Homo-oligomer: A and B are copies of this chain.
């Protein structure tokens, strides 16, 4: 147990070793490590060479102990676990954030809060200062963890506009309403006049906004809003399937459907197929997200692309800025209509 255990690792070089190797003091090495201000080019070079020779890597624990920063951030998901399993958008977002953070050399701690116990544990962990900030995915309203973190003054950036939190919390979101408008306009431009909708959950901002966009365009086109054409969903595939069935029963004359997520749209496609409706000939179907599911389905889905790359990049940028002392910010990014086979 002392010295090197079987197959053990040698004691890694410290800033001291580098200093000795470079013929300078600890302070100088530290300055080089932290931006190199007030360091002569000669010393700069000597230190860098010594770092390369020794294979030195900074000990983040020692650094954190004194700076009070942890130099790591948390990715907190408080969605119910089913959505996490089912929805590839989370993976895309997660990957984007990981990459964006990697560029800043900041590790990402994954925190999945399903049960209440987990929530409490994670909240304690975060408020104890073990992460400098939190990327939050929690679209439903009234999330107690989010509120607790906000109250504790933890830098926070939400994905999508959070409902119920004060306006003081940063968020990055796609322009849901505008995307919905684009899609419904597109469906109308195909000559469809009985355009239905399967909504997202209406306790989420995305769900509300996409429905609002639909209503606006229907009204602008001089069409009457028909309640029978709008059925509720919860973003899950199953709810899309059920929604389409209900839609067909309530309003069999429907000739197009705007579905508030690709995952639900998959369910809609399945239900339409079962009912013998051809897509897009009989019913045109438009999704939302441009998730991998949109390409995997057949026919491939026309959909609204959410700029996930930019969303993740912006979330990280805003969070790091906030950690650096800047004020909270809201960023809304444009969406894009992607035409494929289903319309």
Q: Which residues of B contact A64 (CB under 8 A)?
A: 61
Q: Is the interface of A mostly helix, strand, loop or mixed?
A: helix
Q: A70-B61, A91-B91, A153-B7 are in contact. Are A98 and B112 (CB under 8 A)?
A: yes
Task: Flag if B107 contacts A130 (CB, 8 Å).
Answer: yes
Q: Which of B99, B114, B121, B237 contacts A296 (CB 8 A)?
A: B237
Establish whether residues A85 and B91, one from each chain, have CB atoms under 8 Å apart when the complex forms.
Answer: yes
A42 part of interface (Cβ distance < 8 Å)? no
B107 touches A108 (CB 8 A): no
* CB closest residue in chain B, given A95: B112
CA distance A238 to B296 in the complex (A): 8
Which of A59, A91, A121 is the most central at the interface, judged by chain B CB atoms within 10 Å of its CB? A91
Given contacts A85-B95, A109-B109, 12 further A-B contacts (CB under 8 A): A7-B153, A8-B153, A9-B153, A57-B124, A85-B92, A86-B292, A94-B110, A98-B111, A107-B109, A237-B296, A270-B298, A274-B298
Q: How many copies does the complex hold?
A: 2
Is A60 interfacial (CB 8 A cutoff)? yes
B-contact 0/1 string along A1-24, CB 8 Å cutoff = 000010111001000000000000
Residues of B within 8 A of A95 (CB): 81, 84-85, 112
Residues of chain B with a CB closer than 8 A to A75's CB: 110
